[in-house]
A = this chain, B = another copy of it.
Amino acid sequence: MNSVTRILINGIETTQLGALDRGLQYGDGLFETLRVRDGRPRHWAAHRQRLGEGCARLRLPDAVMEPLAEEARLLSRGVAEGVLKIVITRGEGGRGYAPPVAPRPTRLLALFPPPDYSPSHARDGVVVRLCQTRLGHHPALAGIKHLNRLEQVLARAEWHDPYIAEGLMLDHEDNVIEGTMSNLFLLRDGQLSTPELSRAGVAGVTRARVLRLAPSLGVTVVERVIPRGELAEADELFLTNSIIGLWPVRHCAGRDYTPGPFSARLATALEAEHD
């Protein structure tokens, strides 16, 4: 998981980046993490679309994305299973926060081996904790997958126990927002809910796929504010992201959950969906 296999920066194979890149200096950029399978990145169009939304929010020129599809194909060719991380930054731009008038963005694509998560995570569910590190409210940044990730780093640093697979994060109003690396869904009385992300959180590509797929499985779904107290009342609880797919939660914050039939059906539907 930790050994990168190949990196392309602006189309050139390298391991080095300009030290004054605004991605490093200010976290001035975006990223995407995709699953690679059978020689190609999965759900490319959806990741490409979210990256485009991020570029619009950060006012990064859309043109930076043009070579990405070809470069992603190049890195993925011949790879049976892997992880592709794409980073887009505003490039180098001197000292000072003011973005350059004519930025020359940086495109970084890095191919990693597939993750080594236990297969039992998806099958039997995971143990999840509540993090003490909270997510601040940033309407201007909420939803997009930007490079300012210290909250997630601090939250993930709260535990070392490998038995705990993920940590849930609350905002300062005690609403649950997401996991450190995943989105959260609750099923109760046949209705599926997921936290609304207008003030904090990352609107995951797999989360969007769940929002689209759930109704076809006979379940209504709603994005809304979810107080932490509702976690204990859920019939089923599960996590999603592009790398893990779907993990049912079997224990969280003192309560046991039984990985339920809806989680299993949805996981199958997600896995079966082509792209």
Chain A interface residues toward B at CB < 8 A: 1-4, 7, 9, 14-28, 31, 33, 58-59, 83, 85, 87, 89-90, 93-99, 101, 108, 110, 112, 133-134, 136-141, 146-157, 160, 172, 180-181, 200
Contacts and interface: CB of A to CB of B under 8 A. Distances in A.
B138 A87 contact: no
10 contacts: A1-B94, A7-B20, A16-B16, A26-B27, A58-B153, A83-B95, A96-B181, A97-B153, A136-B136, A148-B150
A150 B146 contact: yes
Contact of A16 (B19, B146, B172): B19
User: How many copies of this chain sit in the oligomeric assembly?
Assistant: 2
A141 B151 CA distance: 8
A156 B19 CA distance: 22
B97 A181 contact: yes
A20 B110 contact: yes
A9 B17 CA distance: 12
A9 B27 CA distance: 19
Nearest to A148: B148
Given A16-B16, A19-B16, A148-B148, A99 B157 contact: yes
The 10 closest A-B pairs by CB, nearest first: A136-B136, A2-B94, A27-B27, A148-B148, A16-B16, A97-B156, A26-B149, A17-B19, A24-B24, A136-B138
Interface centre among A22, A25, A58, by most chain B C-beta atoms within 10 angstroms, is: A25
A193 to B, nearest CB: 24
Interface centre among A9, A93, A138, by most chain B C-beta atoms within 10 angstroms, is: A138
A155 B134 CA distance: 23
A100 to B, nearest CB: 9
A95 B108 contact: no
Contacts of A14: 19
A137 B160 CA distance: 26
Contacts of A22: 153
B87 A95 contact: no
Interface centre among A96, A152, A155, A157, by most chain B C-beta atoms within 10 angstroms, is: A96
Nearest to A154: B140
Given A95-B85, A136-B137, A19 B153 contact: no
A43 B17 CA distance: 31
A98 B155 CA distance: 9
A174 B148 CA distance: 23
A59 B133 CA distance: 14
A150 B27 contact: yes
